[in-house]
Amino acid sequence: MAGVAEQLRRRIRELEDRLARETGGGGGGGQTQRARIERMSPEVTDSNPYSRLMALKRMGIVKDYEKIRTFAVAVVGVGGVGSVTAEMLTRCGIGKLLLFDYDKVELANMNRLFFQPHQAGLSKVQAAEHTLRKINPDVQFEVHNYNITTVENFQHFMDRISNGGLEDGKPVDLILSCVDNFEARMAINTACNELGQIWMESGVSENAVSGHIQLIIPGESACFACAPPLVVAANIDEKTLKREGVCAASLPTTMGVVAGLLVQNVLKYLLNFGNVSFYLGYNAMQDFFPTMAMKPNPQCDDRNCRKQQEEYKKKTAANPKEVVCVEEEEIVHEDNDWGIELVSEVSEEELKAASGPAPDLPEGITLAYTIPVKEEKSIDEAPVTDSEESLEELMAKMKSM
Amino acid sequence: MAGVAEQLRRRIRELEDRLARETGGGGGGGQTQRARIERMSPEVTDSNPYSRLMALKRMGIVKDYEKIRTFAVAVVGVGGVGSVTAEMLTRCGIGKLLLFDYDKVELANMNRLFFQPHQAGLSKVQAAEHTLRKINPDVQFEVHNYNITTVENFQHFMDRISNGGLEDGKPVDLILSCVDNFEARMAINTACNELGQIWMESGVSENAVSGHIQLIIPGESACFACAPPLVVAANIDEKTLKREGVCAASLPTTMGVVAGLLVQNVLKYLLNFGNVSFYLGYNAMQDFFPTMAMKPNPQCDDRNCRKQQEEYKKKTAANPKEVVCVEEEEIVHEDNDWGIELVSEVSEEELKAASGPAPDLPEGITLAYTIPVKEEKSIDEAPVTDSEESLEELMAKMKSM
């Protein structure tokens, strides 16, 4: 009995100490952070933030979990998918995160995970860094509050992914595209083809109920320009899709699932376990998850993609066994190298009904996602607000004057 | 002595409350909260937290999104899956959330989303409520910091799910099981069979690389006792699985995906869109997502399950068209009502290799998840720490004295 009372008293002392630390210092804001941890430990104690991750070794899933600390990953776009992606990598104890975004937090983003109402008005990268540092002070952060698609920023972006690795002057290990528009995806694609940089792409449809992730190894698998999504294939102007006053729908569920599948693929790729997916789709209406792999297009518009294809061919010819290659150009229908079967035939009709019409595409190319059936009338009736130009757009205009 | 303990406990509650107020959610101390919003609006402005959700109507996905406000959902277990589940429902603007957990936040939980290091030591339900209220003050919260499996608490739990709906005295609309042990799942199952309450179950494997969600409609689909998971089927003592000093592995990715799939199923069920899944699995090693549906077991041990089955039969006989029923007892292999094909044959071997051995099961019953192959030696060598009793356990001990 005395022991129990003693434990209750110890708990009171512990809480009093913490309260003093929290409130004593300088009022709000200055919350206690956990101390940095020099070495990841498998020790099973309540105070070890890495015990459940290091347990992946004991479970036989990952050989060398600590290796996570040696990697630098760039996340471009810190919105509904990118912020959750960054948080997952931070909690997993990634070595370094580089964040790129030029947007600011709005209350209109509160239907997705991560940002909170009191952060409205802050830049997304700044707000994200603040939260993520508190979650895991062991991670290094480098944030850039700009639009990577302007000429000047693109050069800086190229420089940082070439030199912003964990060791200064070394490239990052992986780039994750979590952007919401074609232009930014194309900029990342251009950079990665030029640098031979491996990256993963992600996306969520405008109707909020489907998404995908994709691994792109320049020269080995199709790049973003080899197999363009609907907006390019059908020559639909993106500005028409994202009309003023008509916002895309989004759900924390779909975005959380896509971020989870993306970071899972990242962990499998970096820590060498399981099967890394080249393409994994998510159709929420049907709970349907198609996978596939695509070879690059020999007639790709991007000359650096074609160059990478040549180099990949030479590498394969010189050392045929070392290369993990994409075997199938067409969508995989039968048993395949990844042990996964594509079952799209089953619900093709339902998929179409759920996601809107799909254009005719050349064989071997499928849609990253489709545009939902819109009721034209209701769009016309939707309230139209004034167009708000971003700071970058205004600056670009001023420069060109 | 009882009086002293009572005083100590009161002091602990008081300190926890103050600590929660001071430190609470994401950012600094006394943060501004957004004002409550009386009516969900589709207006596309930066300050409207519901614009992207209301856009689901314009996109033709959901007929009546505002209806989300009329539902009360209970989340049992506010850990790696439950906390993210609660956050997603909060951000979607659910009417009311009831949270049940008896654990406190530890640094060892920081490899999952949601909780932050400064919340260590707080009860999970209290810390969660504090953060969630700031994220969306329009949601009603009711939290219970207790273990639902004790006799007394179970009665209170039954009472709250029967009377804790949006309108006082009405039942909740759905219960979500996000617990990590068999006993708690069985308690929820017992309660739901008795009350005829629809619920969804979720789980993540001990090796962190697979999980599942399941919809249980008493009498219509298999309950948790009809088709028990491995720990029951193979008669393995759960205490052996969760040995002192040997913790389960977990990943923010797998838990985020499972929470996302769970809440997506909830939204589809409550707001009537897409196909609601009876069972959806996630194997992260293979990116494999099996679906299936199971009829209840006529010899189920739970007499209330058998009673619900009788009532369901009567209902079906009286009104055969109104009931959405589970057609297949066996695992679905061919085209089926849900347009989904189970492709487990393809990667059965790989699955086994990835997840460890599976016991022989009666036809029509498959594992919720499997236990990973463990290296016995490494478990024996794992450091064993002293077991730390929770405050609740201590209090329970004191009560029984």
Q: Supply the DSSP string of B172-193, one letter for each residue.
A: PSEEEE--SSHHHHHHHHHHHH
Query: Is the four-CA dihedral A266, B135, B114, A288 of positive or negative sign?
Result: negative
The owner of tokens 């409207």 is B48
**pLDDT top residue among A195 and B323:** A195
pLDDT score, position A399: 43
pLDDT score, position B355: 41
pLDDT score, position B391: 38
Mean pLDDT of B117-143: 97
pLDDT score, position B19: 65
The owner of tokens 């290296």 is B375
Quick count: other Cβ atoms within 10 Å of Cβ A281?
25
- Is the pLDDT reported for residue A379 higher than 70? no
pLDDT tier for residue A21 given thresholds of 50, 70 and 90: low
Q: Quick check: B270 and B71 in contact, CB under 8 A?
A: yes
- Is the pLDDT reported for residue B230 higher than 60? no
- Is the pLDDT reported for residue A31 higher than 80? no
Which residue type, as a one-letter code, is found at position B173? Answer: D
- Residue numbers in B near A383 (CB within 8 A): 42-44
pLDDT tens per residue, range B154-178: 999 999 999 999 999 999 999 999 9
Mean pLDDT of B236-255: 73
**Contact at CB, B260 and A263, closer than 8 angstroms:** no
**Contact at CB, B277 and A259, closer than 8 angstroms:** no
pLDDT score, position A227: 74
- Is the pLDDT reported for residue B399 higher than 70? no
pLDDT tens per residue, range A303-314: 999 999 999 999
- Residue numbers in B near A207 (CB within 8 A): 56, 59-61
C-alpha distance from B328 to closest chain A C-alpha (Å): 17
**Contact at CB, A59 and B28, closer than 8 angstroms:** no
Q: Quick check: B290 and B211 in contact, CB under 8 A?
A: no
Mean pLDDT of A366-378: 38
**A259 CB near a chain B CB, below 8 Å?**
yes
pLDDT tier for residue A18 given thresholds of 50, 70 and 90: low
Mean pLDDT of A335-342: 32
pLDDT score, position A20: 55
**Contact at CB, A274 and B209, closer than 8 angstroms:** yes
pLDDT tens per residue, range B49-79: 999 999 999 999 999 999 999 999 999 999 9
Mean pLDDT of A116-135: 96
pLDDT score, position B6: 77
Mean pLDDT of A324-347: 36
- Is the pLDDT reported for residue A369 higher than 90? no
**Contact at CB, B251 and A375, closer than 8 angstroms:** no
Beta strands in A123-235 (DSSP E): 140-144, 174-177, 199-204, 210-216
- Is the pLDDT reported for residue A229 higher than 50? yes
Most confident range, picked from A86-95, A241-250, B233-242: A86-95
Find the CB nearest A252 among B28, B88, B343: B88
pLDDT score, position B333: 32
The owner of tokens 């070890």 is A48
Q: Report in angstroms the alpha-carbon separations of B230 from B226, B237, B289, B376.
A: 13, 10, 19, 19
**pLDDT top residue among B9 and A135:** A135
Catalytic residue among A247, A300, A305, A325: A247
The CA-based dihedral angle spanning residues B47, B50, B54, B56, taken in that order and rounded to the nearest 10 degrees: 110
* Strand B210-216 with B199-204, pairing: antiparallel
pLDDT tier for residue B394 given thresholds of 50, 70 and 90: very low
The first and second tokens of residue A66, run together, are 């600590």
How many residues can be counted in chain B? Answer: 401
Q: Quick check: A57 and A42 in contact, CB under 8 A?
A: yes
Mean pLDDT of A170-196: 97
Supply the mean pLDDT for chain A.
79
- Is the pLDDT reported for residue A382 higher than 50? no
C-alpha distance from B227 to closest chain A C-alpha (Å): 22
Mean pLDDT of A328-350: 35
**pLDDT top residue among B350 and B186:** B186
For chain B positions 49-68, those within 8 Å of chain A (CB to CB) are 49-53, 55-56, 58-61
**pLDDT top residue among A72 and A365:** A72
pLDDT score, position B291: 94
**pLDDT top residue among A17 and B278:** B278
Whether this prediction's pTM lies above 0.80 is answered by: no
**Contact at CB, B247 and A51, closer than 8 angstroms:** yes
- Is the pLDDT reported for residue A278 higher than 90? yes
- % residues pLDDT > 90 (chain B): 63
- Is the pLDDT reported for residue A42 higher than 60? yes
pLDDT score, position B37: 94
- Is the pLDDT reported for residue A345 higher than 60? no
- Is the pLDDT reported for residue B351 higher than 80? no
Most confident range, picked from A20-34, A215-229, A232-246: A215-229
Residues of B classed as catalytic: 247
Q: Decide: helix, strand or coil at residue B198.
A: coil
- Is the pLDDT reported for residue B233 higher than 90? no
- Is the pLDDT reported for residue A300 higher than 90? yes
Mean pLDDT of B223-230: 75
> Which of A193-207, A305-319, B359-373 is predicted with the least confidence, judged by mean pLDDT?
B359-373
Q: Decide: helix, strand or coil at residue B378.
A: helix
pLDDT score, position A6: 76
pLDDT tier for residue A233 given thresholds of 50, 70 and 90: very low
Which residue type, as a one-letter code, is found at position A39? Answer: R
pLDDT tens per residue, range B310-319: 999 999 998 8
- Is the pLDDT reported for residue B365 higher than 60? no
**pLDDT top residue among A8 and B191:** B191
Query: Cα–Cα distance between A77 and A86 in angstroms, integer?
Result: 10
pLDDT score, position A245: 64
Return the residue in B110, B246, B392 with the most chain A beta carbons within 10 A, the one to mutate for interface testing: B110
Query: Cα–Cα distance between B38 and B93 in angstroms, integer?
Result: 12
- Is the pLDDT reported for residue B100 higher than 70? yes
Query: Is the four-CA dihedral B33, B39, B40, B41 of positive or negative sign?
Result: negative
- Is the pLDDT reported for residue A327 higher than 80? no
Q: Report in angstroms the alpha-carbon separations of B100 from A258, B149, B185, B248.
A: 28, 11, 13, 22
Find the CB nearest A256 among B58, B88, B347: B88
Q: Report in angstroms the alpha-carbon separations of B168 from A221, B72, B96, B154, B216.
A: 58, 11, 11, 19, 25
- Residue numbers in A near B354 (CB within 8 A): 274
ipTM of the complex: 0.77
pLDDT score, position B279: 95
- Is the pLDDT reported for residue B185 higher than 90? yes
Q: Has A226 been annotated as catalytic? A: no
